[in-house]
Chains A and B, each alone.
Chain A
Amino acid sequence: MLTIDGLRATAGDREILRGITMSVAAGEVHAIMGPNGSGKSTLAQVLAGHPGYEVTGGTVEYDGRDLLAMEPEERAHAGIFLAFQYPVEIPGVSNAYFLRTAFNEIRKARGEEEIDPMDFLDVMAERLKLVDMDEAMLQRSVNSGFSGGEKKRNEILQMAVLEPRLAILDETDSGLDIDALRVVADGVNALRRPENATIVVTHYQRLLNYIVPDYVHVLANGRIVKSGGKELALDLEARGYDWLIDEPRTAGAGA
């Protein structure tokens, strides 16, 4: 489904991704781990097409298409979903309106019919349960004044509504207590399908107790320094990252 080959990217003058190679097949869950500043969030953002990064080398193929040539919204239409590490606030725009617009845009792009507001409410009611959220939040402005946990749950709610083929969760566990973490993880697990794939970006192994990965990749200084099965995550939990990072960290490598 997704083939990343030698991907390099910079933010301003700093090179953050220095040749990432990996591939993800349908039905798989990949975890990307690494210390702060290793480039894992950058990888997630570059895959979604964040304009703040410049891709300087490598290729990314998604379902046979050149992903890097696509606009962010085209990637969304093609089924890529990024759950943001820091979900953005849009004051004055209700969650319901926002989600319906996004939902219909994606349907339109796929040549499907738009759904009317009443039918959409039915879709929502069902998905809200998945993330244990109250209907009242549909009328609140997107992420505006939400607590950290609410924002993360709102990301998963959007994912549940938009039903992506490839979901990328960027540090979705950061800042969550254990109950909120479980709600989020249950939501993600409930949405797993054989034809879909998930990339989980995280600093801690904790989340991977709930979302069990097929593969774990360790990122350091913009490169994958080790890949393995789910047991690698436990190894990291016990031993930290230092044993994997043989080359000295350079000052320039940031998030």
Chain B
Amino acid sequence: MNTAFLEHFAALPQEGPSFLAAMRRDALARFTAHGFPTPRNEDWHFTSPAPIVESSFEPMRPMAAPIDRSAIAPWMAGSDEWPLLVFVNGRFAPSLSSTASLPVGVRAMSLASALLEEPTLVERYLGRVASFNEQAFAFVALNTALMRDGSVIHVARDTRVSRPLHMLFLTDDAADGGVTHPRNLVVVDRNAEVSLIEQYASLAGGRSLTNAVTEAVLDDGATLRHYRLQRENMRAFHTGHVDARLARDAHYHSFSFATGAELSRINIYATLGGEGSGATLNGLYMLDDVQHCDHQTRIEHARPNCYSRELYKGILDGASHGVFNGKVYVHAEAQKTDGKQTNNTLLLSERARIDTKPQLEIFADDVKCTHGATVGRLDALSAFYMRSRGITAATTRRLLTYAFAAEVLETIELEPLRTALEALTLARYAGE
């Protein structure tokens, strides 16, 4: 089935700088050599990409009809006044976007324009962070070979951006049967600080594949808060890859919120490449019906005195299948590493299933690393306690489920977003 993608490649417009053409060819060659991973590949043990491979996706058609701003209101996730970059079916939609309120020192533009306006910046970083050299990264290779658009964010030295920047990727009626490869590049210079929302959502119910890659480069002392929301329709396929590279004293906070797609796989990777840097990777996935959602995180402790914190929670209903695969890798020179990883899963139904694999690989001796995982139902004791106080069984279940999710939602520092996601979660479990 790889030939479909080869045809997509052949059909790509021959444009853009030469470095990009070379990188695309290289990525395609890697993809062709390795093919798609199978469950025999340790990184894909619990998720088979076969449903994606077997669907012959075409390059996604452009937006069917102009979209009214009111149509995107449900996806504002906190505030509609935040600077906004909207993409529809993989292409930048300037009429829906608003970047006027960006402060001095921040540039936000589509990848297509950045290739023209900021070729040096793009060349320096694009494709340098997210590796595609292994079979496990076949989708990254495909994205690299076939990317058309996405966003490029650059935050200049010492700039502190108070309002978050929202990148919204939508698909519409014309998306059915199509694939897009959104590609984002985020560069945060020395001591700069910024919050980003990267959201994927559907305006229609067709089946499509979003294959997104986001690369983030954090210079000394930089801070990036990155909220990734995957809320595509329940037939969609979604593969996402985030790769952040941190320099000295940089901080990366990631939150992955996933409720959408029939089949999704999200990689969140961070390399702590400078002393004193740290990453916090949190996430919440709430699944139902036949949804399958796989999160793979990897924190690479490459330098001494770094920390990582990780809390992923899953709530699985129906016959859904959750997968969490978290790896903490501590290199020999990464002494004084402080790592903590937790994955908790709540199984609401008899048919739900979780596969979790929290891994530690440690080559340094002076480290403090722990991980923990729990799987279970709602706590019978608390449920009894609540019911003995007169709360009905149904309400008890809703409240306890919400409370389970709230613990991780509370870690979202961006208050309006936290409120919005809490409301979504409450509505989800209060709706019975």
A contacts B: CB pair < 8 Å:
no
